[in-house]
Amino acid sequence: MIERGHHDMGGLPAGKVRRSEHAYDDWELRVDALMMLLIGVVGESRRMTVDELRKNVEALAPADYDKMGYYDRWVISLTQTMIQRGVITTDELARKLEQVRGLSPISRRKRTRRR
Amino acid sequence: MKQAAGRYEPYSYFQLMEVSLRELLVEKGIVTEDAIAGAMAAMRERGPERGAAMVARAWTDPAYKARVLENGSRAAEALGFEVPGLKLIVVENTPQTHNVIVCTLCSCYPRMLLGLPPEWYKSRPYRSRVVREPRKVLAEFGTQIPTKVRIRVHDSNADMRYMVLPMRPAGTEGWDEARLAGLVTRDCLIGVAVPKIPKNAKPRKS
Amino acid sequence: MTLEKLGTVPLYSIGDRVRVRDAAPLGHIRTPFYIRGHAGVVERICGAFPNPEELAQQRDGLPAQPLYRVRFRQQDVWPGYRGNPADVIELEIFQHWIEA
């Protein structure tokens, strides 16, 4: 129903709470850190608001919203926001994705410093 | 990519996106790898033990308790915790009232004090159901709130963030702050649990 | 931002009975669907904040809007609610979401 955002779920029926705990992978912590920097909570890199982050998460198709992990949603939202803000272009992103994807597994492993 | 030695799994689309976004932003001088590392390190430092320290101090110092209930952020700063931008409201459990926190719209949580929220807090079942049937959801956490106790559910839907000040358990007379803080888990600060003295705790002088 | 700094005089006071507008617009909204159309009591005035609906659209959200914590009885919000009649749910409602 279009009148109610898929994220706006207070009071809707749902199953039992799965008390899952999750040790965050480094890439997820990097997404979190990037968010903090880009919304300007810390540092000098403010380029967006947390409201845009939320808006772009809410814009995900319901089936994707449900299937995606939390930081999956955030990284898509951050990237969409950067495109909307003109910080990056779709074409730049396409070329970078190709470049990153085209590297061998060993090179890909080296691209991310252990922290 | 899983970092386990010898195990390679292909990047997910989302992991590829993270690498790509980060590299583009670094190339454009918008962020640096050091700043990202710094923000990650800062988040690792935050955790529920900070909230627990505030609770333990509030339990032992009535003047501090008043400060906590008046302005949670300033009370956090008074213990040396930097919480830029956090607007914290602390809500007190009493024998008549139990508090529980949620963000139905996303996952708002007092991250700048307590660190990252648990996965279940961000999940559909919790966000959907705790506003409507809090006692049932709390029971799924093993927490029984009698019907005669009033429940206040707080939906952090806008700018404020919330933390519960649980009741101090009986049998903790004379305990020092560190020992008291050990009773206060993250789940107590969210309101899905209450502090309990471990069954095998030996009585000891403190 | 404090109300004093902005010279904003909030329309409502602690203890006032207020009703949330029963609207379903588009865009980014921080007033949950489940509370729209319901009436509650102002528990506190949180201050004034830029409008998140506008911030989400790359606008500055000014002038800042008074934000209220409003307390609702669960039995008023949910049909067939079973619990303590004194059970409540408390949310932050922006002034422009309160019915005149």
B172-186: pLDDT as tens digits: 999 999 999 999 999
Evaluate the omega torsion of the peptide bond into residue C10 and state whether it is cis, within 30 degrees of 0: no
Chain C CB contacts of B155 under 8 Å are 32, 89-91
A62 CB within 8 Å of a chain B CB: no
HEC string of C31-68? CCHHHCCCEEEEEEEEEEECCHHHHCCCCCCCCCEEEE
Report domain extents, chain A.
Answer: 23-101
Question: Distance between CA A82 and CA C19 in Å, rounded?
Answer: 38
Rounded to an integer, the average pLDDT of A68-94 is 98
How many C-beta atoms surround the C-beta of residue B84 within 10 A? 9
- Cβ neighbors of B194 (< 8 A, separation 6 or more) are B93, B98, B143, B166, B167, B169, B188
Question: Distance between CA B132 and CA C87 in Å, rounded?
Answer: 11
A59 CB within 8 Å of a chain B CB: no
How far is C41 from chain A, CA to nearest CA, in Å?
20
Residue B152, beta-bridge partner list: B99, C88
| Model confidence pLDDT, tens digit, residues A47-60 | 999 999 999 999 99
The pLDDT of residue B2 is above 90: no
Please report, in tens digits, the pLDDT of each residue of chain C (100 residues total): 555 555 578 999 999 999 999 999 999 999 999 999 999 999 999 999 999 999 999 999 999 999 999 999 999 999 999 999 999 999 999 999 999 7
Chains that touch C (3 or more CB pairs under 8 A): A, B
- Cβ neighbors of B60 (< 8 A, separation 6 or more) are B177, B180
What interface predicted TM-score (ipTM) does this complex get? 0.94
Question: Distance between CA B176 and CA B205 in Å, rounded?
Answer: 10
Indicate the residue of C32, C52, C56 with minimum beta-carbon distance to A10: C32
CB contact under 8 A, B134 and C30: no
How far is C72 from chain B, CA to nearest CA, in Å?
10
Question: Distance between CA B29 and CA B11 in Å, rounded?
Answer: 25
- Cβ neighbors of B131 (< 8 A, separation 6 or more) are A10, A11, B102, B104, B153, B155, C34, C89
- Global pTM exceeds 0.95: no
Domain A23-101: which topology?
Answer: Cyclin A; domain 1 (1.10.472)
- pLDDT at position B204, please? 57
Residue B87 DSSP label: -
Chains that touch A (3 or more CB pairs under 8 A): B, C
User: Comparing C-alpha atoms, which of B196, B198, B97, B197 is closest to residue B141?
Assistant: B196
End-to-end, the C-alpha distance of chain A in Å comes to 44
Residue positions of B annotated with a catalytic role: 103, 106-108
How far is A1 from chain B, CA to nearest CA, in Å?
16
Chain C CB contacts of A8 under 8 Å are 29, 32-33
Residue C63 belongs to domain spanning: 3-99
HEC string of B1-62? CCCCCCCCCCCCHHHHHHHHHHHHHHHCCCCCHHHHHHHHHHHHHCCHHHHHHHHHHHHHCH
Number of domains observed in the structure of chain C:
1
A53 CB within 8 Å of a chain B CB: no
Q: What is the CATH number of the domain that holds C54?
A: 2.30.30.50
